[in-house]
Each structure stands twice: as structure tokens, then as C-alpha cells.
Amino acid sequence: MIEFVKTGRREVRVKLSKRRREDCRLIIIPEIIDRDRCIQICDVGEDKLVNRVKTFCRSKYHVNTHSLRYAFITHLLRQNVNPSIIAKITKHSRLDYILTYTQEKEAEEILREEVKYV
């Protein structure tokens, strides 16, 4: 977000701070996000901004960044995106993490549907 405010570019690469290697993630800012509004938001500092977004998501929608990540992965799989591509987008080093998680969720959904008809 900070890079978007500074440069106006909607596609930026962000270094992953928790990684040993020099991994970067591509962030694409949607058109709906207004740069002027971002300037006001980003004035609070990056750490405060991250904490505010996390707090807002938890209190308003009862989700955390991990659940948003897997909701996105599930959405892509339902759109028939190749799991290998999803692993590259989300920087998963092991494909089986994605497949195991989504198979568990799909199994739970099937079970819920079947119980409705009992």
C-alpha cells in the first residue's frame, strides 16, 4: 500500500520479511481503491496500518489474514485454477498443503449437504 501511495503503480513487488531468501510477492491494487484515500490511511505508519486492518477484519468480519488467504485459495480452486499455479501465487512451497486443506473443506461441505436430506 505504501509503495502504491509513493509511486501510483498498481502492481508492486513486496519483500516477504519472514523469509530467509529474498522472496517477493506481487501485490495488485484493485481500481476501486482510491490513491488519495490511501495517502490519508498510510499517514499513520505501516505498522499501525497493518494492525488497524487486522483489527478491523477481526472485529467486523470475524476473520484473520490466514482465513482470507484460504478463502482466496478455495475460490481459485472452484474456478478450476491449476493447484500448481495457486501454489506459485500464494508462495506455498508444498502443494499438498493446499490440496489437503481444500479437500477437508470440500468434504465438510458435502457432509453438510447430505445431512440436510436425512
pLDDT per residue over 27-79, tens digit each?
787 787 777 767 766 666 667 877 887 888 888 888 887 888 888 888 898 89
- Domain ranges, ordered by start, for the chain: 1-62, 63-118
Q: What is the pLDDT at residue 34?
A: 76
Residue 38 to residues 23, 30, 49, Cα–Cα distance (Å): 25, 12, 10
Task: Count other C-beta atoms under 10 Å from residue 86's C-beta.
Answer: 21
Q: What is the pLDDT at residue 32?
A: 78
**Nearest to 79, CA basis, from 102, 62, 54:** 102
Cβ 74 vs Cβ 102: under 8 Å: yes
pTM above 0.75, yes or no: no
How many Å apart are CA 118 and CA 112, to the nearest integer?
10
